Amino acid sequence: MNKLLFLIAFCVCFSCKDTSKTETTSSLLKTFNYSANDTPIISVHRGGKAIPGYPENCLETLQYVNSKIPAIFEVDVAKTKDNVLVLMHDDNLERTTTGQGKLNSHTFIELSSLNLVDDYGSATVFKIPKFRDVLVWAKENKIVLTIDIKRSVNVKDVVDLIREVKAENVSILITYDMKQAERAYKLAPDLLLSVTVRNQKELDWLLHSNIPTENMLAFTGTRQSSPELYDKIHSYGIKCILGTLGNLDNQAKSKGDYLYKEWVSNGIDVIATDRPFAVASALQLKN
């Protein structure tokens, strides 16, 4: 009788544990799974660049771009002197704010006196946003963020904040190599990861890792790879990202925005760009 009771209790506990895991797994693992003929996705680099009056890594810029086109947003997460997570790409303040010195030499209250500067050097009325506030906005509006964690930031702190806000369903963690990917997966096995897959060798590394393919979104670099590589990645149910930011965006600007359609037809599912409005127009994507 005791053995029977133990067996029943074990089954109940195991069942409850498995259900809990299913409930906490990010829905992005399914929604970002590759399927032929899916609508291409625009990923807005640094939350929006080269937009007069709207600085990069700024909550108001994300809101502005989101009001115009359908997109997901890549943002950079850094840390202040008093360990507040904020949006900021550079280590120093000069380029993107009215302040000077290193970001991590200032408390958040000190940074709150500064204004953000747009890509044309004009000061705006906007402030450095807390990552928490951006997560809350993204969750409330169902806007997906791809999160680039700067070197000074502990990945666990970012994951903990995502969990605290319950923003798992709008958060993708960016990794750049196998060690980062495996570390991120160990901390957050329920989240979608952007992993670097620029060639067959890097794909093989990932396929032989302990990371399930359903957790992968493949960043294929800032240069075009062969359609064969994209097809191979797709065969595992993984979407492909092309970083057009930089050279490819400039190429499209000079030769014609039709190139964005060509890159999609070659096998690209997500275009990470500094020209989100041009991409949306070329691909005829509207809210």
- Whether the CB-CB separation of 102 and 108 falls below 8 Å is answered with no
Q: With 0-12 CB in 10 A as exposed, 13-18 as middle and 19+ as buried, what is 244?
A: buried
> Is the CATH number 1.10.3720.10 carried by domain 175-287?
no
Domain 49-149 sits in CATH at 3.20.20.190
pLDDT at 105: 97
Same fold, 49-149 and 175-287: yes
Q: How open is the CA angle 173-286-191, to the nearest 5 degrees?
A: 15
pLDDT at 24: 63
Report pLDDT digits (tens) over 50-75.
999 999 999 999 999 999 999 999 99
The whole-angstrom distance between residue 155's C-alpha and the CA centroid of its chain comes to 14
- Whether the CB-CB separation of 68 and 48 falls below 8 Å is answered with no
* pLDDT mean across residues, the chain: 92
- Whether the CB-CB separation of 285 and 276 falls below 8 Å is answered with no
- Residue 203's SS3 state is helix
| Sequence ranges of the domains in the chain | 49-149, 175-287
Report pLDDT digits (tens) over 167-187.
999 999 999 999 999 999 999
Q: What is the spatial distance between Cα 123 and Cα 96, in angstroms, rounded to a whole number?
A: 9
pLDDT at 90: 97
- Whether the CB-CB separation of 160 and 187 falls below 8 Å is answered with no
Q: Average pLDDT in the 137-149 region?
A: 98
pTM of this structure = 0.91
The whole-angstrom distance between residue 250's C-alpha and the CA centroid of its chain comes to 22
